[in-house]
Structure 1
Amino acid sequence: MTDTPPSPILPRLTDRLRRGQGVRVTLFGSSTTEGIGASSPEHGFAPVFERALAPFVPGGLTVINRGIGGNGAQEMHDRLPAVLADGADLVMWQTGSNDPWQGVKLDDYVAMTRRDLLATRATGADLALIDPQYCRMLEECAAFPPFVPAVHAIGAELNIPVFGRYARMKSWCAELGLSREDLSPDGLHMGDMGYRLLGQAVAAWLVELTGAPAGAFVHGG
């Protein structure tokens, strides 16, 4: 009797990569997705991510940046029709950083985010989440702590993989001898170094989740 292979975590993306087809990725979120804090646009998260992932997509990679700084769950909900119209194979959903500042109740944040994720999944797109950043201003926000586990709880409930940016940023500080300010110079937004580490790490994470040939991954300087 032959064991049945496990279903892919990102089935649409995995299938398209295996077939050598083109891939459309929508990056949906707030200031990190927009790239606020980078010294120039090419050093922001989206361009770094695109350059890192492109070698694994021989059929061609299209990355649509739908990041607007300051957006929380309500603003992202209001912009959801544009995201659905993208017809993306994968929607990377960066979330949970601005709602604590806006005074949004955790339950309301979870309910709205959950509904919008389900609406996006209904289009046939794969989904992946990116949790909040590790930075001084969020650490000083009394309402912030439960939002990181809330993002992971949504992911677990809906079977959506979550890139743990908060934990990764802490580990980069420990492993590379960095401070929070090295990654987020203004205390909130990531700078060039933070975006470089994040963009490459998210691309490598997707490669791992889809089983693409990891030996082809090139770490930028």
Structure 2
Amino acid sequence: MSLKIIVSYDDTDNDRDALALGRLLAVPGAELALAYVRHSFGPSLEQEQAEELLARGAASLGTPEMPKHVVVNPATSVGLMELAERERADAIVFGSEYRTARGTLKPGISAHKLLLGGPSAIAVAPAGLWDGAAPRVQTIGVIDEGDVCARETAASLAAVLGAGVAEYGSARLDLLVVGSRPEAPDGRVVLSARSDYAVEAANYPVLVIPRATALDFG
């Protein structure tokens, strides 16, 4: 079954970074979709504006007909989680928190909440990823947390991108795949303290996978 990837998008610079990461992860055959969460049922104008910003995001990728979802939920994280479960999405992609310095990575509130029990893999882009040429991935790092699925995911993505795989801390990395902590329920994302530190210290994209769940990019 092909991968399904949802990009959380609100037309800000940092969410354009999420577009760049979504495009990188959306290997041939994968389905890439955009999602925007409205926080209340309001005037039709708000719905129209949400649809327009998603349309701009899709157009910037050169795929105006790609799937686009406007979700209504008081909490962005809950809205995206419910959408991911309904669509059976494999991953949700976020940009960094809006005050993040260029070239560094910091998950925002919604991403951080889903890193504490979300049902889908969570990818976070560093600030500034959208600018310039498409990111070139030569080395993918891995923190497996004792879960072979993290290593399988890294190897699968590396094979598609023509990259190598290295242990975290042993080489200069262009992307990091992180497994969930051993205590996490199967199918849920939960970071360990060590992995949380690695994510916060990253200056490259990070992909955190649920426990016992490998993503097949082939």
Query: Does the alignment reach a TM-score above 0.5?
Result: no
Taking structure 2 as the reference length, what is the TM-score of the superposition? 0.33
Taking structure 1 as the reference length, what is the TM-score of the superposition? 0.32
Higher helix share: 1
Higher strand share: 2
Larger Rg: 1
Flag the structure with more relative contact order, 1 or 2, with Cα contacts below 8 A and sequence separation at least 6. Answer: 1
